[in-house]
A and B are shown apart, each in its own frame.
Chain A
Amino acid sequence: EAGVAQSPRYKIIEKRQSVAFWCNPISGHATLYWYQQILGQGPKLLIQFQNNGVVDDSQLPKDRFSAERLKGVDSTLKIQPAKLEDSAVYLCASSPGTQNTGELFFGEGSRLTVL
């Protein structure tokens, strides 16, 4: 079974530039999450999708971050314009269930460095 795919693995940009990350969840998984993980910290939820609807985006900085999940499958996370404090690993995860009770499968992450 293929895992959660993310790209790019690494990205270096200057502040005020834009960046986009892509995630392809495990086939058939209803729930998709985007997390931000700053070095030395645990993952922080940015947005949770159930199929193609948003369940929770309360911690998404909506003035600069946006995300969409096309047709309930792939998802993209965009940052525009980037700030220095956005330097982090952006993790995508998917789960077969819809009630946060099942196993979460994480991708390898996209490491962003903002200079």
Chain B
Amino acid sequence: KNQVEQSPQSLIILEGKNCTLQCNYTVSPFSNLRWYKQDTGRGPVSLTIMTFSENTKSNGRYTATLDADTKQSSLHITASQLSDSASYICEGGGGNKLTFGTGTQLKVEL
């Protein structure tokens, strides 16, 4: 059974600090991994897409890494802003299947 597990479940950081969110996946077949940002009451928005052969992908202050050998991915947020407060969801895809994690709820405070 395909699974995507994210940690931590929730995180509070001060504005300007960096943070890293983790994603462990068991998806077969596996072809790509996506990270999404979901603001409260809104639909998820894609941040990064990586194929199994890519190790890192950046989108502004967001940098995702992928280790296909250990089946782990991380999302690093640099110089956090209040607007980064949201749920961050990891998704592993392959074949016709997309498997979503439950997300990490990030709160950025002053």
Contacts and interface: CB of A to CB of B under 8 A. Distances in A.
A43 interface: yes
A108 B100 contact: no
Interface string B92-109: 011111101111000000
Interface residues of A, number: 25
Given A43-B100, A48-B96, A101 B31 contact: yes
Contacts of B95: 100
Given A107-B43, A108-B42, A109-B42, A100 B93 contact: yes
Contacts of B45: 106
Interface in A87-115: 91, 93, 99-109, 111
B57 interface: no
Interface residues of B, number: 24
Contacts of A56: 96-97
Contact of A106 (B31, B44, B101): B44
A42 B101 contact: yes
Contacts of B49: 102-103
A24 to B, nearest CB: 14
Contacts of B89: 42-43
B32 A104 contact: no
Contacts of B51: 101
Contacts of A102: 49
A45 interface: yes
A108 B102 contact: no
Interface of A: 4, 33, 40-45, 48, 55-56, 91, 93, 99-109, 111
